[in-house]
Amino acid sequence: MAQMGRPRTFDRQAAVEQAMFLFWQQGYESTSLSQLKAGLGGGISAPSFYAAFGSKEALFREAAQCYLDTYARVTECLWDDGLAPRQAIELALRQSARMQSEPGHPPGCMVALGCMSAPTPEHAAVAAPLTASRARTRAGFARCVERGLAGGELAAGTDAAALAELNIGRTRAAQDWLTGTGGIDPARVFVRGADTTPAPREDAQGRLLPPARLDFSVR
């Protein structure tokens, strides 16, 4: 009796992780279907690809969620009220730097790279989960600053949004260095913003003052 159908010869979750690495390294629009088919499970046919994932967009969404559930969690400590605000921010920055530069996966941050890799209007929605994750990280930094203000660790009038942008900028600077597009070596940028910001300033009561004359925009 002839065998009906052909069993899948690849591990689906492993294939999603392989796709995640491809999208992480090349971005959404630059990763072709042929690259995906060739790179998943040692190579799969077009019918097998569509049967397993439906479309390139659907696979990207799965790959993005895989990243958010794993590597992107390095900044979740920003929401841990058991940590002092300064400790939470430092831990998030150090963990982010370590993750972005460790071996075993593409350098940099898939969230930032993914937000920039689907720029055309027809594909912009694809990056929505990554955009939301970046907004959550920014909000986490701002929340830590607000906690610092409430606890008297920061001087009154400190701009929480501006300091949040500063720290988002630090993660971006490390990513740019790791992907060869400029930036600062993460071994230096995450040590109190060495070589990127002035030394921390304090008022007469020892509370941190906001940095002076800094451009907080993220480019």
Looking up residue 28, the CATH number of its domain turns out to be 1.10.10.60
Q: What is the mean pLDDT of residues 121-149?
A: 88
Whether residue 176 sits in one domain with residue 118: yes
Whether residue 188 sits in one domain with residue 152: yes
30: nearest Cα among 131, 129, 113, 121: 113
Whether residue 121 sits in one domain with residue 164: yes
Read off φ and ψ for residue 130, nearest 5 degrees. Answer: -75, -40
> Considering its fold, how many domains does the chain have in total?
2
Whether residue 97 sits in one domain with residue 63: no
How do residues 107-123 score in pLDDT, each as one tens digit? 888 988 876 665 677 77
Task: Report whether 10 contacts 42 (CB < 8 A).
Answer: yes
Range of the domain at 196: 70-209
180 has a pLDDT exceeding 80: no
Instruction: Assign 191 a pLDDT band (cuts: 50, 70, 90).
Output: very low
Angle between helices 128-150 and 85-101 (to 10 degrees): 150
Whether residue 201 sits in one domain with residue 173: yes
Q: Is residue 172 part of a domain?
A: yes
Whether residue 149 sits in one domain with residue 89: yes
Q: Is residue 32 part of a domain?
A: yes
Pairing type for strands 208-209 and 201-202 reads antiparallel
57 has a pLDDT exceeding 50: yes
Q: Is residue 196 part of a domain?
A: yes
Tokens found for residue 65: 């969620």
Of residues 217 and 130, more confidently modeled: 130
17 has a pLDDT exceeding 80: yes
Instruction: Assign 50 a pLDDT band (cuts: 50, 70, 90).
Output: very high
> What is residue 199's predicted lDDT score, i.e. its pLDDT?
42
193 has a pLDDT exceeding 50: no
What is the distance between the alpha carbons of residues 207 and 149, in angstroms, rounded to a whole number?
A: 9
Highest mean pLDDT among 70-74, 119-123, 168-172: 70-74
52 has a pLDDT exceeding 50: yes
Q: Is residue 26 part of a domain?
A: yes
